[in-house]
Amino acid sequence: MDIDYSMSADRDSRLSRNGLVEHQHVAIRARLLSPSRYASRTVKMTLIGDRDLDTLLTGPEADAMGNVVGMLTLSSDFASYLGSLSYSALWGLIPTLGGRFVRYIVLTGSPVRYGKARIGSISFKGTYDPEDYFD
């Protein structure tokens, strides 16, 4: 697991938040269990902390979040996931990932089409039963 956090003063940046620019992400290597065509491949998962999600999750605009939390990309020799989590959730998740309390990351979403799947849900689990997810 790789963890990256940075904050810098940059009043001219369009990404500036009160003159500060912040970046947080966690990169994880995991093994795919499904879809069966891609099972046993290693996937690089990048989870990006998003402060706006903290506000959306607790504010009246929660319904405006949309229906995608990330994108899974699969090809014959490459597998990656890029997704967003709220800053507070990502910071809380780091110790559980490092302490090996989370053994499974469950992504649910659209079927893989042209090597991509839109992910609508991400869950972090200590145990996993495929019967809970597949018929």
Mind listing the pLDDT tens digit for each residue in 71-95? 999 988 889 999 988 888 888 888 8
CA distance linking residue 1 with residue 27, whole number of Å:
6
E strands within the chain? 2-9, 20-31, 42-50, 70-74, 79-86, 104-109, 116-125
Considering only residues 47 and 98, tell me which one the structure prediction assigns the higher pLDDT. Answer: 47
**pTM recorded for the entire structure:** 0.80
> Where does residue 31 fall: left (phi above 0), alpha (psi -120 to 50 degrees), or beta otherwise?
beta
- Which residue ranges make up each domain of the chain? 2-132
Backbone phi and psi for residue 83, each to the nearest 5 degrees, phi listed first: -150, 170
